[in-house]
């Protein structure tokens, strides 16, 4: 049997190295990717690593969170939130009722560990976007955001495939969690429909954004919200 205490200590040490200010960016991202895989493999979450509480019998229940996004490119950032939700077995939609014009409100459904992964990876992806988004007009940057989200989605999909190979049977578990989350979402919001569309007006910008998104490795500077956060969203 795996010693859970040793696993938590291992992940904590990896994260400490990843978050050290003197750690090179490439090494930090590699460390974060490793920590993320270990956490998924052993069903660990933020509270496990900080040792503040134990996973209880409710940890696999599906619940909803709201995440409000403000500021520039909030629609594109909402799309990024959506693709990350899909990658971590959360069902998600954009809420348009009683929402101010300067706000994009995303609602995600999933287990505690999947909701935690969504929030952490979204923060990390936004940090990567801030560092890598090139100068340009709004049309250019909008296309860049489309590419970036697609790149992040592809990279996370590839990393999930790695987890599946390393942990036989994990794919069925994650698929089952997503299906339960989706059922819960449609039960709560039976009128939901897929009306999304993407229009790319600058293929070069899309390509640059896609390359930047593909450099995402399950996080940029942090796997946990306890150290670094962009601070542009609020959790409901």
pLDDT of residue 4: 67
- Where in the sequence is the domain holding 182, given as residue range(s)? 60-191+199-235
For residue 38, tell me if it sits in a domain: no
Answer yes or no: are the C-beta atoms of 152 and 85 closer than 8 Å: no
228 or 206, greater pLDDT: 206
35 or 77, greater pLDDT: 77
230 or 1, greater pLDDT: 1
Q: State the DSSP string of 72-134.
A: TTHHHHHHHHHHHHHHTT-EEEEE-TT--TTEEEEEEEE-HHHHHHHHHHHHHHHHHHHHHPP
Collapse the DSSP code of 65 into the 3-class scheme (helix H, G, I; strand E, B; otherwise coil) and give the result.
strand
Residues 6+ apart with CB under 8 A from 185: 64, 91, 92, 93, 107, 109, 192
| Element spanning 234, H or E | strand 233-235
For residue 207, tell me if it sits in a domain: yes
Q: How large a percentage of the chain has pLDDT more than 70?
A: 75
Collapse the DSSP code of 137 into the 3-class scheme (helix H, G, I; strand E, B; otherwise coil) and give the result.
coil
Q: How far apart are CA 176 and CA 13, in angstroms?
A: 31
63-70 and 91-95 beta bridge pairing: unpaired
For residue 160, tell me if it sits in a domain: yes
Q: Say yes or no to pLDDT of 213 above 90.
A: no
Neighbouring-strand partners of residue 104: 69
212 or 234, greater pLDDT: 212
Question: Six-digit token pair at 193?
Answer: 């429909």
Q: How far apart are CA 160 and CA 2, in angstroms?
A: 22
Q: Say yes or no to pLDDT of 224 above 60.
A: no
Number of domains in the chain: 1
Answer yes or no: are the C-beta atoms of 108 and 91 closer than 8 Å: yes
For residue 16, tell me if it sits in a domain: no
pLDDT of residue 94: 92
Collapse the DSSP code of 233 into the 3-class scheme (helix H, G, I; strand E, B; otherwise coil) and give the result.
strand
For residue 19, tell me if it sits in a domain: no
pLDDT of residue 120: 80
| pLDDT class of 53 with cuts at 50, 70, 90 | very low
For residue 3, tell me if it sits in a domain: no
């Amino acid at each position: 049997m795996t010693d859970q205490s040793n696993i938590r200590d291992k992940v904590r040490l990896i994260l400490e190295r990843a978050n050290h200010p003197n750690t090179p960016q490439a090494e930090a991202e590699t460390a974060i990717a490793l920590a993320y895989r270990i956490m998924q493999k052993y069903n660990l979450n933020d509270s496990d690593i900080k040792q503040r509480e134990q996973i209880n019998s409710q940890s696999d229940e599906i619940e909803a969170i709201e995440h409000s996004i403000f500021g520039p490119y909030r629609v594109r950032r909402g799309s990024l939130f959506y693709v990350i939700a899909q990658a971590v077995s959360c069902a998600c939609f954009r809420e348009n009722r009683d929402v101010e014009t300067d706000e994009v409100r995303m609602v995600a459904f999933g287990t505690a560990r999947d909701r935690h992964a969504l929030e952490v990876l979204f923060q990390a992806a936004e940090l990567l976007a801030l560092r890598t988004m090139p100068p340009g007009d709004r049309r250019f940057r909008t296309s860049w955001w489309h590419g970036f989200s697609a790149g992040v989605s592809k990279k996370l999909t590839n990393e999930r495939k790695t987890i599946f190979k390393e942990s036989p049977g994990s794919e069925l578990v994650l698929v089952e969690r997503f299906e339960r989350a989706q059922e819960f979402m449609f039960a709560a919001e039976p009128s939901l429909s897929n009306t999304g569309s993407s229009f790319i007006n600058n293929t070069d910008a899309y390509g640059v954004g896609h390359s930047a998104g593909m450099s995402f490795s399950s996080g940029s500077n942090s796997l946990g919200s306890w150290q670094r956060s962009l601070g542009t969203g609020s959790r409901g």
